[in-house]
Every structure is written in structure tokens, then in C-alpha cells.
A and B are shown apart, each in its own frame.
Chain A
Amino acid sequence: MNDDSIHADLTGSATGRIAKERLYHWLLFGCAAVTVFVTVSIVLTLAADAITFFEDVELFSFLTGTEWESRRGEYGVLPLVNATLTVTLISAVVAIPIGTAAAVYLSEYASDRMRSILKPALEILAGIPTVVYGYLALVYLTPWLRATGLELNLFNLLSASIMVGILIVPMVSSLSEDAMSAVPDELRQAGYGLGATKYEVSTGIVIPAAVSGIFSSYILALSRAIGETMIVVMAAGAQARMFDTANPFAHLFQSGQTMTAAMVHAVTSDAVGGTPEFYSMFAIGLTLFFITFAMNLLSNRIATRYREEYQ
């Protein structure tokens, strides 16, 4: 096979070969350019339909309205943002300590054998589809939390948020562990040489040295939590609710609708193409795209800066 092709091309004409090389070059460039096409078309298509939405609904009332009630024509995005922030916050409270501690364990303490078991296990966790997490939250976690005495609705933000937190643990732990493993061993050895214990090396040297990588993993995980859809659709219900300042924890126990859930609701409910509710999905989608895109960009920036420190 090898010999044949080399033989054929050595006897072939040079122009043909160059033309062929050019052809492949541009063909492959085209493949890479598809990704730009994806980004551009996301922005363009979403923007086009979002504009249709804003012809019906004022931008100002969209951004500051405190009611999302499509039947009454109320399109205030704040209740959705409120639910999204709640989910993100609680999932961060769950995932960041667990994920960071797991990363420290895997990178600093685990024996090779332990790591060879735990890492694939975490990877498999990351590979479980979100619809399954949503099902677990709805069918098992909510009843369990109810059994502890919390007065939860069947659909509630709390169990959905906890599930989102569990979902993003592998993300935090694997990215943070990469960052910690990238810390040069000399720094650790220097620490030991000064008489530091393993604990002191881990918390005093490795974590500060890897902090930018760890931080970028947090941002990525949070952007994942913001964009998470199926868990909140299945376990948190579809009732857009505003934060109640008098009783801040009450809305955790009740159903809530995040931005992503509102998008799903816009297509799966009876909203036909052409109603403002249908177009609202594009406006929310565009907002969501920009938020997550900006967060990813930020995270990459931080991670790149950190990479330059040691290489």
C-alpha cells in the first residue's frame, strides 16, 4: 500500500501532485471553517428571530419585567434569570468543594491503583446523560429530601440544583486535577525540603500554584450549570417565580423555571410558530449563548495565562 502510492506519485506529474495537495489543503481548511460557520449561524439565526420577538415585546420590559406569563403576554425575564442563578449558586455550593477536594485527592494523595479506578469512574459519571440525572432528581432525590422533613413540592428547585451540582462535580475535579498535575514537581520537592508536610504542600503550594487552572474549571462548570436543561425541565417544573425577599428559602422548595426550561417550554407547549412565546425562545437562547460564550472565553483566558507561567 505504502510502496504503491509513493511509486505512483514519483512517476506522476508534478503539477498533478501540487494540485492534489492544494485540493486537500483547502478541503481540510473548509472542515475547520465549518466551526466558524456554526458560531456565525447561531448568532445570525438567533438574532433574526429574536428581533421578531422584540417587535412584539419591548426590550426594556423584557429585561426588567418581574413576571413571565405567556398566557397573559407578560415577558419579563427576571424570574427566569432568578431561577437560573439559584440553580447555578446551589450547584456551585455542592460541586466546588466536592470537586476541588476530589481533585486534590486524585492529584496529590491517590496511589496509582486508586487513581486507575477513581478516574474512569468519574469519567463514566460525566458520560451519563442529563436526562438520566433529571430522572434521578425527580424520582428519587425529591422523595428522599421530602423524607428528611423538608416541605418540598413535587417539582422544586432544590433537588434540581443539587443534581446539577452532582453533574458538574466530574468537570470541576478533572479540570482542576489537570491543573494540579501540571504544577512542576520541583515546587513540591522544594516544599518538602523546607520541612512541609504533605498537607502543607497541597494547600500551601499546589493549590496556590494551580489556582488559575482551578478557577477556570469553576467558570466552565458554572457555565455548564447555567446552560443545563434536562435536569431543571424534569425536576424543577415550569412555574416562573420571582425571588421572595421576605422568605428567601421558600422558593427553593417550590417549582421554578430557568431560562433553559422556558426555551423548552416554548417549543413543547402548544405555542405555535409565530406567537411571541415561540420567538421568546430565540431571545433567551441568544442571551444564554452570549453568557456561556463569554464565560468560556474568560475561562480559557485564565487557563492560558496560567499555562504560560510554567512553560
Chain B
Amino acid sequence: MAGRNESAAGWIGSESQVSRLRGTVFKATCLGATLLALVLMLVFLLYVVNDALQPRTADVGWLATYGVTIGLPALALAGYYYRRDTRAGEVAYTSLGLPIAATVLAGGITILFRHLISPQEWFALVVACAVAIGIIELHGTVHSAGVIDRLAVVTVVPLLAVVGIPGISVDHTFNTLFLEQELFRIAFSTPELAPSLREVILSSPVLPTDPHALLLAFTVPVAGAGSLYVRRVRESDRDAALVGVGAVLAAGSGLVLAPLAGLSSTAWIVLATVVAVPVGLYVELVVRRGDGVSGLAFPVVVGLGALLGTVAVGAAGFAGPDTWLTWEFLNNPHSRTPRDAGIYPALVGSVLMLVVVAVAAFPVGVGAAIYLEEYAPNQGRLGTIVELIEINIANLAGVPSVVYGVLGLALFVRTVGMRTGIVLVGGLTIGLLILPIVIVSAQEAIRAVPDSLREASYGMGATKWQTTRNVVLPRAIPGIMTGTILAFGRAIGETAPLLMIGAAAVVRLPPESFMGKFSAMPRQIFTWSTEIEYEFRYGVLAAGVLTLLVVLLMMNASAIVVRNKYQRES
């Protein structure tokens, strides 16, 4: 109170000069503090980049050439966008970042097709699922009233399509209750009763080759989803068909063109599907909107500059830098000699682990969020339980990650009996870790859907589940996706739980299934940090950190872009 009286006096009296100075100093201090943390980290990161890429080992001519072909035009354009056209600036960084982020994603998907599921297996799985969905839909239209047979169809058909009826194998000894004396023992096993549709397709003699299988089972569904999206947004069948056919053609041309470009056709198809479709959609969106179109020039200028620079450097014979982060680094396993060391098995481990995390945490997290926001009662005994669950979730988000590691060790390894250090245990442990984050962010997204929409849906006689599925979820999906991507970023970077569940310090062979021993990128980085050799500490380690940071930056940036777009719309 006294302070406020003094300030009032200051306003009336002659101390305003001092007060203004004080205010300015305070503002500058606050700004300085904000920048201090950011600048400090920026300096650190510049050091990392410098150590990983070693730009100073390059010829001066090499640096100058690229500076002129990429640096100058990019700077000039950026300056122009900043001064004249902020909207175009936004378009510029999105259209430059989108292909890069999509390429990272394509890399992840390629790893999956290489190590987890071959294109032909994927093809069989997709066809089997499509047939199952078809049968269920057909049954729904032919005979929609029956509840029991509907339930039977919905559960049995997918099972038959994907799993088949496995053989039964029983080996159980019945004991007397307390004395544990053996009464009798049942032991028999049957061969597999019925193979699944998936296996039937896989064993059929006329299976498409890998590229064709990918084209049919990966590109076509993605293109279909893209064209459905376009049809919903644009309400134009012609545009939708154009998008779908265009995407399939872009990927399909790889069958002919990929060898010419020096790529394998599978790599081309994955790249074209994952990169070309979103980029095409985005470019089209910007052009149609007509706002900030000049931003599209940015990636073109950078790309052309890179091409021109490469040609010029090749012609002049300038030597490039002696970087640690090379294609070999991404494709080699760990080695005792720093120059040969690479991160590939750890990269595969991280990708496979992320699949487990996604499957484990996403449905449960979103389900829990739906329950808490849409279904949970406010009062009564259940209301108290719900309140406890909410408090519990908020607190779980703050439990140290190392404790989750111990939990994973105790629960999955020591209680359930899985092997230590396999992908499944790592993924489940980290899935538990990010579960509270997924739930909280999904809750926020669901809460942001206006209540009037729900009321309208109820007013038309929809049930709670119909309202949730048809009204709430479609609106909340962008928000849920943002939170989930951020949570996955957290999952990729977590190290302590992996140490606790015994992820291998070094793996030479990438894991081929969820049951394989694995190492993940952060785990590998930690291993390298314990090496004393200078070249490991300042070379390989920096390259590994930079790889991890690039992946994370792409994930976080795409989440932020999705969120900004979504916020602007709503």
C-alpha cells in the first residue's frame, strides 16, 4: 500500500523522470532475461552445428559459392517478406519446411517398410483389412437391425481377415488346492485351424512386386484420403479426382523414372506419396487463397540456389567441409573408429519405438480425454472418482521420467516377464510416460469445441456417442494432433526410462520386430558421451545430437504450424 501512495506522489510531483528511468531499466532487464536464455541456447546450438558440420574445413571458395547462390537471395527475400509482406513470409517458411518435414517422415516410413513390415506383407494386410471393412459395411446395409449378429460380424470378420484362427495349445497341470499334489495334466496342441486372409494373400503365387505393392497399398489409400479431404473442403468432385489421380501418377511414374534419378522405385514411391501430396495440396491452397503467393518463391530460390551452387562448386573443384553428419553417418552402425560410426540402428530403434508409443498412448489418451470431457459426471460417487482421476493425471505429468523407467522395469520386465531392452518394453514405458500429456492436450482440444454444436446435435436426436464422433471429434482433431505430435517429440527424446529398462548401449543390427533388442537415438548419444576420445566427443556426438534435434524441430514446427492454422480458423 505504501508503495502505491509513493507512486501516486511521484506522478504528481517531479519524480516522474526517475520513475521513467526505472521503468525503462525494468523493461530492459525483463527483455534481457528473456533473450539471455534464448541467446545462450542459440550459442550452444551454433557450437553443436559447427562441430557436427565443421564448415571451417571447407574451401573458402566453397563457402563463398553457396553464400552467393543460396545465402544472398534467401536473405534478400527474407528481408523483403519481413518489410513488405508478412503473410508471404509465413508461406515462405511453411513451404520450405513442409517438404523437409515430409522428407523426414518419408524416411521414417521407409525404415518401417524396410525393417518392420515388407511392402508385400503390408499389401496383404491392407487388402485383408479392406475386405473386412467391406464385409462389415455390406452387412450393415443388408441387415442393420440385428444387434447380436452385428456384434459377431464386427468382431469375427477382422479377426479372420488379419489373424486367422490360431491353433490351440494347452499344457496345464491341475493340482489339489492346498497340498499342490498333481491331479492330472492336460496337454495338447492343434495345428492352425484356419489361416487368415492375410496369410492366404501372402502365400498366393501372384503377388505384386514390392514397388507395385507399395503403389497399391500405400499410395492409393493416401491419395484417396487426400482426395476425400479435398472433396470435403472444396465440395468439388472434379478437384478431388484430380488430386487422387495426380498423386497416384506422381508416385507411379517412379516405376519408370526412379532408376533414371538413381533412386530405388520403392524410395521414389514413398517419397512421392509422403512429400508430393501434402506439398501439392499446400501450394494449391496458397494459390487459390491468393494471399502471400510470393512466399512460394522462397523454396524455389533456395532449391535452385543449391542446384546452381553444386554445379558451380563441382566445376571449380572446391572441396566441401569435412562434416560428421553425412549420409554414411545416417546409414552406418556404431563403430569403434569415429569416422565409421553411425546412428542407423538407433534411428530404426527410435522409429519402431515410436510406433509402439503411438499405438499404446494415442487411443487410450484420446479415449480418456473424451471420457473426462464428454461423459464424466460431475457429482455422485463417480464424480468423486473422476475428480481424483483428473488430479492424478495432472500429477502424473510431473513425475520424473526416471521413475517411469523403474515402473517399466518393474511392471513389464519383472512382473509380466518380457525381456529387458526390447522395443515393446521401451515403447510401452514411454507410452505410459506421455499418456498424461496426450490426455491433457486432447482435453484442451475437446473443451475448445463450442457447446452450441453439441446442443444442436443433441437437438437433432443424436446420442452422446454420435455427437462425440460426428461433431466433437472432427472439430477437435487438429488440436489433438498438435498435442500428440508434441508428446511424440517428447517420447523420441526421452533417455532416462530407456536406461532403466535396459535398452542396449550399442546395437550393430537394427531391430527387425517389436521383440528385438534395440537402442534409440538418445540412448546412442548417451553412449557416445561416455567415450573419452576427442573425435567422438566433438564430432560423432555433435552429429548425433544434430540428427535428433532436426527430427524434433521438424515435429515441433509442424505441430506449431497446425496449431496456428487451426487457431486462425476458429
Binding site for B on A (CB under 8 A): 1-2, 5-6, 8-13, 15-17, 19-21, 24-25, 27-36, 38-39, 41-42, 45-46, 48-49, 97-99, 101-102, 104-106, 108-109, 118, 120-125, 127-132, 134-136, 138-141, 166, 169-170, 173, 194-200, 202-204, 220, 223-224, 226-230, 233-234, 260, 263-264, 267-268, 281-282, 285, 288-289, 292-293, 295-297, 299-300
Inter-chain pairs besides A127-B489, A204-B3, A282-B406, 14 sampled, C-beta below 8 Å: A32-B371, A120-B560, A129-B492, A139-B537, A139-B538, A169-B37, A195-B12, A199-B19, A220-B398, A227-B401, A234-B529, A264-B499, A288-B403, A297-B395
Interface residue ranges of B13-39 to A (CB < 8 Å): 19-20, 22-23, 26-27, 29-34, 36-38
Chain A residues whose C-beta falls within 8 Å of the C-beta of B465 in the assembled complex: 20-21, 24
Interface residues on B, range: 35 or more
Query: Per a CB cutoff under 8 Å, which of A166, A204, A295 touches B4?
Result: A204
**Contact between A35 and B435, CB atoms less than 8 A apart:** yes
Smallest Cβ distance from B476 to chain A, in angstroms?
14
**Chain A residue at smallest Cβ distance from B502:** A267
What 1/0 mask marks residues of chain B from 490 to 509 whose CB sits below 8 Å from any chain A CB?
10111110011010000000
Do residues A128 and B396 form an inter-chain contact, with CB atoms below 8 A? no
User: Which listed residue, B34, B403, B470, touches A2 by the CB 8 Å rule?
Assistant: B470
Q: Which among B109-117, B120-128, B143-151 touches the partner chain?
A: B143-151
Q: Shortest distance in angstroms between B547's beta carbon and chain A's nearest beta carbon?
A: 11
Asked if residues A127 and B37 are in contact (CB atoms below 8 Å), the reply is no
By the criterion CB–CB under 8 Å, are B30 and A132 in contact? no
Instruction: Decide if B38 touches A118 in the complex (CB within 8 Å).
Output: yes
Chain A's closest residue to B47 (CB) is: A140
Q: Which 7 A-B pairs have the closest CB atoms?
A: A227-B400, A129-B493, A31-B367, A101-B33, A16-B147, A195-B11, A45-B410
Q: Which residues of A contact B175 (CB under 8 A)?
A: none
Q: Which residues of B are interface residues toward A (Cβ below 8 A)? A: 3-4, 7-8, 11-12, 19-20, 22-23, 26-27, 29-34, 36-38, 40-41, 44, 47-48, 140, 144-145, 147, 150, 363-368, 370-372, 375-376, 386, 388-389, 391-407, 409-411, 414-415, 432, 435-436, 439, 460-466, 470, 486, 489-490, 492-496, 499-500, 502, 522, 525-526, 529, 537-538, 541-542, 545, 548-549, 552-553, 556, 560
Bound complex: CA A122 to CA B41 (Å): 10
Task: Give CA–CA (A11, B560) in the complex, Å.
Answer: 43
Complex alpha-carbon distance, A200 and B6, angstroms: 10
- Pick the contact of B394 from A104, A135, A296 — CB < 8 Å? A296
Given contacts A42-B403, A125-B37, A128-B552, contact A196 B7 (CB under 8 A): yes
Closest-CB distance, B565 to chain A (whole angstroms): 14
- What's the least CB distance linking A230 to chain B, in Å? 5
Tell me the dominant secondary structure on chain B's binding face.
helix
Nearest CB in chain B: distance from A2 CB, A: 6
- Verify A292–B37 contact, CB threshold 8 A: no
Chain A residues with CB below 8 A from B402, complex form: 227, 229, 260, 263-264, 285, 288
User: In this complex, what residue of B is CB-closest to A300?
Assistant: B394
Main secondary structure of the interface of A (DSSP, over half): helix
CB-based contact B392/A34 at 8 Å? no
List B contacts of A134 (CB < 8 A): 526, 529
Whether A281 lies near B406 (C-beta < 8 A) is yes
Contact at A46–B147, with CB atoms within 8 Å? no
In the complex, which of the residues A31, A101, A197, A263 contacts B23, with contact meaning CB atoms closer than 8 Å?
A197
Our pick among B403, B470, B489, B500 for the contact of A267 (Cβ within 8 Å) is B500
Question: How far, in whole Å, are A230 and B494 apart by their CA atoms in the complex?
Answer: 9
How far, in angstroms, from A157 to B463 measured CA to CA in the complex?
59
Complex interface: chain B residues within 8 A of A127 (CB): 486, 489-490, 493, 552, 556
Contact residue among B48, B400, B462, B490 (Cβ-Cβ distance under 8 Å from A6)? B462
Residues of B within 8 A of A139 (CB): 529, 537-538, 541-542
> What separation, in Å, do the CA atoms of A101 and B31 have in the docked complex?
8
Whether A11 contacts B44 by the Cβ 8 Å rule is no
For the complex, what is the distance from the CA of A268 to the CA of B463, rounded to whole Å? 53
